[in-house]
Amino acid sequence: MLLLCLCVFHRAMLSEWFWWDRLWLPRPVTWVDLQDSEGRVYARVSHLYIILPVAVLLLGLRAFYERYTHKLNVIEKTSLHQHKFTCWFLLNSAGGIADIKGVCKKLGWSERQVERWFRRRRNQDRPGLLKKFKEASWRFAFYLCSSFGGVLALHDKPWFYDLREVWAGFPKQSLLDSQYWYYIIEMSFYGSLLFSVAADVKRKDFKEQLVHHWATLTLLSFSWCANYIRIGTLVMLVHDTSDVLLESAKMFNYAGWETTCNSIFVVFALVFMVTRLIIFPFWLIHCTWVYPLDQFEPFFGYYFFNVMLVVLLLLHVFWASVILRMVKKFIFGKLKGDERSDEEEDEEGSEEDYTHTYSNESGNGLSNGH
């Protein structure tokens, strides 16, 4: 009994220390000043409990969406010659394919064309390709809706045009319905990404993605509790804008629409550099670092919030370097897809590689193509 009382006492002390006014709020504001009154509604930690069920709901919606996307069969090639060769391929795959010259005679193709088609076919039938497309299309759908909702929620707000209005009356700023739902849906989405990260396609920047998701959730949770909601909505909108273009470019890449993919990628690279490396640090971080000092003295929450924004900025610099490498490959005609993804088979591989691959395959060696 005594041990239980001590545990309760220490828990109460820890909670009291964690929610100490000076950690979260500037002087002389206290939590008592942020009680709902006179038509004002303030953000509460209890409001965030709904995130878990909404995240689960988003996972269910994603499963339904990906099943519908699978039925679209968007990865399928539509060339007449490819349809002809696909039929021949399916009829003869059971016995293996080793006679390239025989295939060339039947279809009237050069050996180079046959080799290139087989490489594309193997890349097309890799188990992860359709999965990557479905993941990208789900993120594209969310970011598109989120960006539209963000603009709808912010277009008539004064702080959308004048960043000094972000801190007008802070922290005594009433919570709006649009801000509530914008936050809850955005945080639930990133929560669902953490739940599904083990099942998603693992990329080269897997660790950076985990850091990004955790940093985003920590930043949004803190900004919610400390009533940094106005600047939080602006940060979300800036990030979602470029993500729409990124996921759409990846969709067209996985679907084989190279020209469309390259065009969107160029636009994405420009938007990313402007929003993440110019607007984010020189407008938004400047807004959180400089303007608050005109109204109150620095406190722990002020430093913590800005440190988390800098963490996101460092991640942006990392991804900007990846994008620049892709731009370099694009300029020199060597861009093959998502720089973060596992490498697909090179279409310009040597004939020896192709011959070795197929001369050693048995009848069921093409299981990925079935």
In a domain, 229, yes or no: yes
User: Same domain for 201 and 173?
Assistant: yes
Q: How many CB atoms lie within 10 A of CB 165?
A: 14
Residues 6+ apart with CB under 8 A from 215: 308, 311, 312, 315
Cα radius of gyration (the chain): 26
In a domain, 5, yes or no: no
User: Same domain for 107 and 150?
Assistant: no
The per-residue pLDDT for range 175-195, each reduced to its tens digit, is: 999 999 999 999 999 999 888
Going along the chain, which residue ranges are E strands? none
In a domain, 120, yes or no: yes
Residues 6+ apart with CB under 8 A from 199: none
User: Same domain for 138 and 274?
Assistant: yes
User: Same domain for 99 and 132?
Assistant: no
User: Same domain for 106 and 205?
Assistant: no
In a domain, 161, yes or no: yes
In a domain, 361, yes or no: no
The alpha carbon dihedral of 66, 68, 71, 77 has a sign of: negative
User: Same domain for 113 and 195?
Assistant: no
User: Same domain for 173 and 103?
Assistant: no
Task: Flag whether the pTM goes above 0.95.
Answer: no
The per-residue pLDDT for range 259-269, each reduced to its tens digit, is: 888 889 889 99
| 2: Cα within 13 Å, side-chain hemisphere | 0
Give the domain extent around 90. 85-125
User: Same domain for 134 and 44?
Assistant: yes
User: Same domain for 118 and 254?
Assistant: no
Low-confidence ranges of the chain (pLDDT < 50): 9, 76-81, 83, 87, 90-91, 93-98, 127, 340-370
Q: How many CB atoms lie within 10 A of CB 286?
A: 12
In a domain, 265, yes or no: yes
**Cα–Cα distance, 290 to 100 (Å, whole number):** 68
User: Same domain for 134 and 237?
Assistant: yes
User: Same domain for 158 and 232?
Assistant: yes
pLDDT on residue 65: 87
pLDDT on residue 321: 92
pLDDT on residue 125: 54
SS3 215: helix
In a domain, 343, yes or no: no
pLDDT on residue 276: 94
User: Same domain for 284 and 164?
Assistant: yes
pLDDT on residue 78: 42
**Domain count across the chain:** 2
pLDDT on residue 270: 94
In a domain, 339, yes or no: no
